[in-house]
Structure 1
Amino acid sequence: MPEHLPPDVAGVLDVLLGGDDPVHLALRAQLPHLRVRERCTCGCGTAHFDLDTAAVRPAPSGPRTVVAAEALIRTEDGDCPGEVLAFARGGYLSWLEVCSWSDGTEVTLAMALRTLRRRDVP
């Protein structure tokens, strides 16, 4: 896990981009060169990245913006109040988004990480 990323961002990316998928492998190789440019001010954990694209190869995800990885966020009682998505633009990690589907439950990267650690992510 890259030490220069905040622990919540690094932890979620580490698990979300796990596995042997060629796109995920290429995106994981970008993590040491990734920096958080800005974070959402609401506390959800959404993060936009800067990346030294000269130092890494693009992932084979195509030239457009794509959802490179995603996972549902679940509470302890099984409710699903949102999801977390990793976006790549032109093959480079661009941002990590936390989406809430409910006004009643605060969804954060910490909640996403707890969910991801409870199950395997393909």
Structure 2
Amino acid sequence: MTDSLPEDIADVLDLVLDPDEPTHIALRRQAPHLRVKSRCNCGCGTAYFELDTDAVEPAPMGPGTVVAADVQLVTETGECPGEVLVFAQGGYLSWLEVCSWSDDVEVNLAAARRWLQPPS
């Protein structure tokens, strides 16, 4: 999706932002202008972004913070141990969050990336 982001984050954004949904199309256009400001220290893969808002238009959404994308993670065995959330503030990508609902299955960005891939 972009060379400015780490590959794992770029891949997950590409997988969760629907290329046919108008709001997601606008958010996808922002990806080349994103930089990772920080990541969660727990190892989950959550990343907070910096964005040059002068370089891109905001997505058509309200002025507050919204969940722009919410995708449940499903393992190879059919378990649903967590989700990936993409947040936007004022129409601009703000952060990507990897959430765990399970104590039995490790949920992190690498696992999310694997589980989000379409079956071959």
Sort the TM-score into its range (normalised by shorter chain): over 0.9
User: What is the CA deviation profile of residues 23-46 of structure 1, one whole-angstrom value per residue up to 9, with x for unaligned ones?
Assistant: 100000000100000001111100
User: What is the CA deviation profile of residues 83-122 of structure 1, one whole-angstrom value per residue up to 9, with x for unaligned ones?
Assistant: 0000000000000000001122110112212222126xxx
SS at match of 1:24: helix
- Of all paired residues, the percent bearing the same amino acid is 65
SS at match of 1:102: coil
* Structure 1 match to 2:10: 10
Matched residues in 1 for 2:61 and 2:111: separation?
A: 27
User: Which TM-score applies when normalising by structure 2?
Assistant: 0.94
> Is 1:57 aligned to residue 57 of structure 2?
yes
**Aligned pairs for 1:34-73 within 5 A:** 34-73=34-73
* Structure 2 match to 1:107: 107
Q: Which amino acid aligns with 2:58?
A: P
Q: Which runs of 5+ in 2 are unaligned?
A: none
Matched residues in 2 for 1:102 and 1:33: separation?
A: 34
Q: Which amino acid aligns with 2:28?
A: R
**Aligned pairs for 1:74-113 within 5 A:** 74-113=74-113
Q: Which runs of 5+ in 1 are unaligned?
A: none
Matched residues in 2 for 1:61 and 1:85: separation?
A: 16
User: What is the CA deviation profile of residues 38-63 of structure 1, one whole-angstrom value per residue up to 9, with x for unaligned ones?
Assistant: 00111110000000001100000211
SS at match of 2:57: coil
Q: Which amino acid aligns with 1:40?
A: C
SS at match of 1:112: helix
Q: Which runs of 4+ in 1 moved over 6 A?
A: none
Q: Which amino acid aligns with 1:34?
A: L
